[in-house]
Chains A and B, each alone.
Chain A
Amino acid sequence: MGSHGRQQGHPVTETALQHTRLQELVAPFADGELSRDEKRAVEDHLRICGRCRCELDLQRELSRALAREPGPGASVRLRRRIEAIGERTAQVSERAFPWNRRWVAVAMAALASIAVVGTALRVRRGGASRPMAEIPVLRDALADCRRAMTRNFPRKADLAAVAEGLQFPIRPLSARDVELFSTWKTSLAGSPAAGLAYRWRGIVVVQYAVPTELLRQQPELSGALSHDGFYSSSELGQGVVAVLKEDSGTLLIANAPPDALTRLIL
């Protein structure tokens, strides 16, 4: 095995040395992150090393499987970590947008790729998605939102009070630059729900906490939810995003593009 015919050293020993060095490069090789020379070295090694070939398959299989899995992106732990990094590198005052510009570009690129995938899948399933007014839970949410806005929102924010009697947990937005200012109980498509209003970057974002079944029952939503992990749409400048967690559903409505809204709950 591995008779490279080099000047010194037993061929087997040389191969073993190469292996120790090159097995570290199998993952970046699988991810297309190696220089041309490194790539060639790994390819040569793979010809003679069954273990590294197996490792390569393993790295590729997991990478693909993770990419394919449905479900929203960042875990809570990861999101907090990213937010902490943004805080550490901030060079601006508390009031202004707190994230480092380079990090925002990176994060946006990640989120854009999620959004693009979502869009591509929806198109593949056959044409424009239905107008939101035709989807009962969204129609009711938009109407409730308008009602709350014309009445200038209930004057207090009391999560405990709105959570009382609900059969599912409320998961308020935890992004750093949102400020909860109003909560109320309401009903959407016949189901009890909680409304929460926040200020975010100068606009109002309304969140509805709903039972998971309410989102799953709508065919238009459940398709996008199971394929992409979220549903998003926008009409006349108003963005709507729906996300399912294990035990509750969330709707977000704001005069902002859906991509910006997904950032708040992913």
Chain B
Amino acid sequence: MARRRDLLFITELEAAHEEIVASDAPSPLEHLLARLEAGSLRDALRSIPEEFAEAVELHDVHGLKYREIAQVTSVPMGTVMSRISRGRQLLAGLLRARDDEKPQRRVAMQGRGE
């Protein structure tokens, strides 16, 4: 049951990410990031699947290179690449999805359904 929830959740994040990149806009996350509380971005990593969060955290927070992450997590380089790429995409999708939920935008979202 939990698994199915996870899959639906990830699909939602992927859809939100898709919306962001389909816009073709430069600096697509600028406004979202500006509205965030300090420290909440690293915290948001906890809401995406662990293998992605871990790869992103090791690279962006701890400054490890891809090769080092591959060593520490015992996976091939290609996997590290796709986990970092996808991890950041899911994180972006999460930021976007959460931003959509905020009160001032809820009026525009009426009729979306629970």
Q: How many residues does chain A have at the interface if contact means C-beta atoms less than 8 Å apart? A: 41
- Cβ of B104 under 8 Å from chain A: no
- Cβ of B22 under 8 Å from chain A: yes
Determine which residue in A27, A78, A85, A102 has the highest number of CB atoms from chain B within 10 A of its CB, and name it: A27
In chain B, what residue has the closest Cβ to A266? Answer: B62
Counting chain B residues whose Cβ lies within 8 A of the other chain, the interface size class is 35 or more
Contact (Cβ within 8 A) B71 A54: no
Contact (Cβ within 8 A) A28 B66: yes
Point out the residue from B20, B82, B91 that lies within 8 Å of A24, measured CB to CB.
Answer: B82
Kindly specify which of A57-65, A141-149, A191-199, A230-238 makes contact with the partner chain: A57-65
Point out the residue from A25, A63, A85, A109 that lies within 8 Å of B73, measured CB to CB.
Answer: A85
Bound form: Cα–Cα A78–B71 in Å: 15
Contact (Cβ within 8 A) B72 A103: yes
In chain B, what residue has the closest Cβ to A33? Answer: B66
> Binding site of B, secondary structure by majority: helix, strand, loop or mixed?
helix
A42-85 near B? 1/0 per residue, CB < 8 Å: 00000000110111011101110111011101110110011001
Question: B-contacting residues of A (Cβ < 8 Å)?
Answer: 24-28, 31, 33, 50-51, 53-55, 57-59, 61-63, 65-67, 69-71, 73-75, 77-78, 81-82, 85, 102-103, 106-107, 109-111, 113-114
Question: A-contacting residues of B (Cβ < 8 Å)?
Answer: 20-30, 33, 38-39, 41-42, 45-46, 50, 53-54, 56-66, 68, 71-74, 81-82, 84-85, 88-89, 91-92
